[in-house]
Amino acid sequence: MPAKGSATTPMDETGTPAAKKRALQLSEGGSIAGQVRSEIKDMMVMMQENIKNLQMAMASLVSKVASIECNVNSLMATSQQQQPQMVQQQQYNEAEFLRPMHGGQGPGSLNNHHGASQ
């Protein structure tokens, strides 16, 4: 990207708008074919710079994605190591819930604990 100039009128290195410079060169006897070649060369140089910038940005992006992948793999490994502990805790809680209460037969018992009443 050029550092000088506005979004509407491109500027050349001297600060003169490129369209005015082209008009001046043509009026001073410059050939149209030579001017077109010069413009094409300028555009190719800019495209090469843009391609280099894109390649650097993509390399940076690839590096960041690889770092994120490494972090995700590390978190997944840590999560898998902790998972059996959580399962054991859940099984303990279920065993506590199903344990007989007050010496009876368990939560679903139909026995009358206060003796026969008739």
DSSP 26-78: HHTT--HHHHHHHHHHHHHHHHHHHHHHHHHHHHHHHHHHHHHHHHHHHHHHH
> Is a pLDDT exceeding 60 seen at residue 3?
no
Residue, of 50 and 77, whose pLDDT is higher: 50
No. of helices (H) and no. of strands (E), the chain: 2, 0
Structure confidence by residue, pLDDT tens digits, 6-34: 445 555 555 556 666 666 555 556 688 88
Separation between Cα atoms, residue 94 and residue 65, nearest integer Å: 42
Structure confidence by residue, pLDDT tens digits, 32-67: 888 899 999 999 999 999 999 999 999 999 999 999
Residue 100 φ/ψ, nearest 5 degrees: -60, 140
Structure confidence by residue, pLDDT tens digits, 83-100: 655 555 666 666 666 666
Q: Does the model's pTM come out above 0.95?
A: no
